[in-house]
Each structure stands twice: as C-alpha cells, then as structure tokens.
Amino acid sequence: MVVQDAAGRHGVAVARLDETSGERMEWIFDRKTHVFLGERSVQVREGGAFERGTVTSTSAIMKRAVVDDIKQIPGENG
C-alpha cells in the first residue's frame, strides 16, 4: 500500500494489524531506495476512542547519524 509519512513523503508500507485494538501499524519505506521513512498507526475497526480510518499517530525520520559509542550524541566530540 502507498502511504505518506508525517513529512508528507510517499512510500510503500508494511503493516501489522493489532486484532485486539483494531489498530494497524504501518512502517513506511521509500519505494526506490527502501530507506525507512517513518511510521503511522491507523484505526481500521469501529469501536474504541477513534473512528475507523483515523490516523492515531505518525512520525518521520528526518536525520540519521552514525556514532562511535553508546549514548553519544551526533556531532559531539569524543
């Protein structure tokens, strides 16, 4: 399925449905590079606090970095 991340970028999603809550978690990847763009959750079943089709959460990965040590913040020396 083609979806958008929180930044509005289109990608292809891999999804998992939570049968208990009726919420579908979608992991969004770039169609060509397969880079992880973000994720979103959608209510797909009636009931609970949200109407069917409501996007309950969304996120976008805007920056990536490589660090040398655990708990090191990118751009921090040492």
State pLDDT tens for residues 22-72.
999 999 999 999 999 999 999 999 877 789 999 999 999 998 888 889 998
What's the pLDDT score for residue 25? 96
Residue 2 pLDDT exceeds 80: yes
Alpha carbons 36 and 56: distance in angstroms, whole number = 20
| Residue 5: per-residue pLDDT | 93
- Token look-up 């708990």 returns 71
Q: Indicate the pLDDT class of residue 78, thresholds 50, 70 and 90.
A: low
Compute the C-alpha angle 17/52/46, nearest 5°.
Answer: 80
Tell me what percent of the chain is helix, strand and coil, each rounded to the nearest 5: 0, 40, 60
Answer with the residue of higher pLDDT: 78 or 23.
Answer: 23
Which pLDDT does position 76 carry in this prediction? 76
Please, are residues 75 and 43 in contact by the beta-carbon 8 Å criterion?
A: no
Yes or no: say if 10 and 4 are a contact pair by the CB < 8 Å rule.
yes
